[in-house]
Chains A and B, each alone.
Chain A
């Protein structure tokens, strides 16, 4: 029942969504700072908690969440983080250090197989188990990138964390598309037909990422990207790319990630811009983590129960075992390799997005995967950033006593 607000002046009527947005933008930074000062946790844990409480107290999230502008804003925030991550990834490193490539395959592969096993054990059926396994390979690139940059981490574990997170994101997106294609085949078409959609999807993705990389490459040749104005241009280019992504059905995850990687590999001149492309991007990133919290239903943590706990533990085992397996051969100490595995634990935003793409194609399966995943993903939204921060500072890759200096 809507109260009669006709006596209010006209400008108050759009109160619903903009008020919610404003309130979140006030509360989230405060919560982030509180969490940071009191508990020394990453600020994004505070943002996510605000989202969780908002959804738990049935604060008018729905209106905000459904508003198209808000959704687009979140996509831009995510794309910004993915693009930043991509531009940090130096692919020739994999050739110079094949054991690092082996580590990537090991940690993602182990996660895939172990989670598939759980899915099977839970009776999810092969299709849903495969999808769940694919989604669980991801070490949320968004969380990883944000935490590493918030605490100013530098060093071997940080660089490898970014590399492995970018790679397992690519594996997962491709795997989900292939699974979708294969499931399409089950639904009654031939093999060639089945592979057409994922190929088409990848082609679109590739073309768009090349276009984005070219555009940013052109901009940086003419402009100093460290300057706030040029950073806004980057934000605009990414926004534009996302509009094209939506029109062409390419991957909103892979396009910015691959574009960043292409940019880095095509032009070795250092790419440096303000973190998250300046304050505008920064504000969107805060909202992204609030929205992540809002999207999750805290009742699912309880509902996920033992299965969720098992999923988390096995996935954690897979990540750590995968990095320790070839850790020394790839040039890390055992302590560093273990820390790398722990730092890879976050899963959240990307997992939801992938699940959403499953859901839109096969609602029944999407629901099953979401239910199995939700509890685990929710817990990891809180624990993941803490794990990454702990791991990076534990192996001495954060500035001494300076965690406070680089704020949100």
Chain B
């Protein structure tokens, strides 16, 4: 199967997908209610993009094409409110967070549908372990070569985005010590990681054709890269974020990615090289494991810094691009969080320290998600 051609999209438009947890309001463990929720949403005339995910206790919502932060936030808020209305009729809870704190993967059920059954057959227990919850952000690109340039430019800042969004410290009933343990579930897949270093679309098409010929992949969907091009939308898709605990944070993170993209496209502050990826896996691990406290190695200079400080510096550097987009206040607040070492993983750990009962923690997550 050939790669579809890169569609036209308006530069720097946004699209956000959020994968959400469905939990029982009795024990706050995951519950396979996605088919019920979809049915109820349909009945209540819910408009908006809502889809099942690989296991039945996950649901995905997606905005349409957004002009910017305000648009994205209002779309996300409407989606959230509609979902909550359906959830109330079913007496189930919905929450954000990159992983459920104490579910057992063996109890998950794969969703109906040929693709999910295929993935389950192919990946075995990895498919059930894939019950983790991410935020994907699409950025509209003026053209296919620009998309690849943007993809490899953004790669440097993947650790920054991981630390800001991290919300999965607890997995299978234990504190993992990671800020984002969710990404460990994704690294287990053979086609995860980073996109190959090619900077023009013809080369990328060739790469895809070679991979397709081996039979390893059939479509772009089979790549689980941290950032991947999405030719049919004319976007690149950033996939490393944990689903935050609130729609406000989800919108703010998208705004930051948009400002970063504007900076990279307009200013072209550096030329990405293959050598950027020498430190990629190290930086990413540090961000997952230690969050803001992780080490970040600058791929060009080789200098080391603490990720939290690097985030503050980066947001300062792209400030006027954020201002152009009207999101300088939003991005400044993220810089404040990084400076104060606050993220959702920290919030979860604080709550759990106050009350160690993990079901209660998940209940708090549900309340946080539903906060108007």
Residues of A whose CB lies within 8 Å of any CB of B are: 88, 90, 93, 96-97, 154-156, 159, 224, 268-270, 272, 328, 330-333, 336, 396, 399-400, 402
CB nearest neighbor in A for B91? A93
- A333 to B42 Cα, complex, angstroms: 12
Of the candidate stretches B31-39, B156-164, B188-196, B221-229, the one touching chain A is B31-39
The answer to whether B32 touches A159, judged by C-beta atoms less than 8 angstroms apart, is no
Given the interface pairs A396-B32, A399-B107, A400-B109, the reply to whether A270 lies near B89 with Cβ below 8 Å is no
- Beta-carbon nearest neighbor of A154 in chain B: B31
B residues adjacent to A (C-beta < 8 A): 24-29, 31-33, 36, 39-40, 43, 88-91, 106-107, 109, 355, 357, 359-360, 363
Q: Determine if A269 and B357 form an interchain contact, defined as CB atoms under 8 angstroms apart.
A: yes
Q: Known: A88-B26, A156-B33, A272-B27. Contact between A396 and B39, CB under 8 A?
A: no
Chain A residues in 8 Å Cβ range of B36:
155-156, 331-332, 336
A328 CA / B109 CA spacing, docked (Å): 24
Complex Cα gap A88–B36 (Å): 20
11 additional A-B pairs beyond A331-B90, A332-B36, beta carbons within 8 Å, are A90-B25, A96-B88, A97-B91, A154-B29, A155-B33, A156-B36, A159-B26, A269-B360, A269-B363, A270-B363, A331-B43
Q: With A88-B26, A270-B26 known to touch, is A156 a contact of B90 (CB < 8 Å)?
A: yes
Q: Give the contacting residue for A270; candidates B28, B39, B40, B109; CB below 8 A.
A: B28
CA distance A330 to B36 in the complex (A): 11
Q: For residue A88, which residue of chain B has the nearest CB?
A: B26
B6 CB, nearest partner CB in chain A, Å: 41
**Given contacts A154-B24, A331-B39, is CB(A97)–CB(B89) below 8 Å?**
yes
Q: How far is the CB of B93 from chain A (nearest CB, A)?
A: 11
- For residue A270, which residues in chain B have a CB less than 8 angstroms away from its CB? 26-28, 357, 359-360, 363
Q: Is the CB of B40 within 8 A of A155?
A: no
- Residues of A with C-beta under 8 A to B89: 96-97, 330-331
- Chain B residues lying within 8 Å of A90, measured Cβ to Cβ, are 25-26, 91
- Interface pair A331/B107, CB less than 8 Å apart: no
Give the complex CA separation of A295 and B288 in angstroms: 62
Residue of A nearest to B43 (CB): A331
* Shortest CB distance A317–B (Å): 26
Among residues of B, the one whose C-beta sits closest to the C-beta of A332 is B36
Question: Can you name 22 A-B pairs with beta carbons within 8 Å?
Answer: A96-B89, A97-B91, A154-B29, A155-B33, A156-B90, A159-B24, A159-B91, A268-B363, A269-B355, A269-B357, A269-B360, A269-B363, A270-B26, A270-B363, A328-B43, A331-B40, A331-B90, A333-B39, A336-B36, A396-B109, A399-B107, A402-B107
User: Which A residues touch B90, using CB under 8 A?
Assistant: 97, 156, 331
Provide the bound-state CA to CA distance between A328 and B42, in Å.
Answer: 12
Q: Is the CB of B359 within 8 A of A155?
A: no
Complex interface: chain A residues within 8 A of B24 (CB):
154, 159
- Chain B residues near A88: list those with CB within 8 A: 26
CA of A400 to CA of B127, assembled, Å? 15
Residues of A within 8 A of B363 (CB): 268-270
Cα–Cα distance between A396 and B28 once the two chains are bound (Å):
19
Instruction: Collect the chain B residues with CB atoms within 8 Å of residue A328's CB.
Output: 43
- Complex Cα spacing A331 to B40, Å: 5
Q: What 5 A-B pairs have minimum CB-CB distances, sorted nearest first?
A: A270-B359, A96-B88, A93-B91, A331-B40, A97-B89
CA distance A400 to B120 in the complex (A): 14
B29 neighbours in A (Cβ, 8 Å)? 154
Choose among B32, B40, B359, B360 the residue that contacts A154 (Cβ–Cβ < 8 A).
B32
A330 to B90, CA, bound (A): 9
Task: Report the Cα distance A72→B29, complex, angstroms.
Answer: 35
Which residue in chain B gives the minimum CB-CB distance to A152? B107
Closest to B109 in A: A400
Instruction: Give the interface centre of A224, A268, A269, A270 by most chain B CB atoms within 10 Å.
Output: A270
The residues of A that contact B27 with a CB separation of less than 8 Å are 270, 272
Q: How far is the CA of A272 from the CA of B357 in the complex (A)?
A: 10
With CB as the reference atom, state the residue of chain A lying closest to B361.
A270
Beta-carbon nearest neighbor of B56 in chain A: A396
- Contact residues in B for A332 (Cβ distance below 8 Å): 36
Q: A264: nearest residue on chain B (CB-CB)?
A: B26
Residues of B within 8 A of A400 (CB): 109
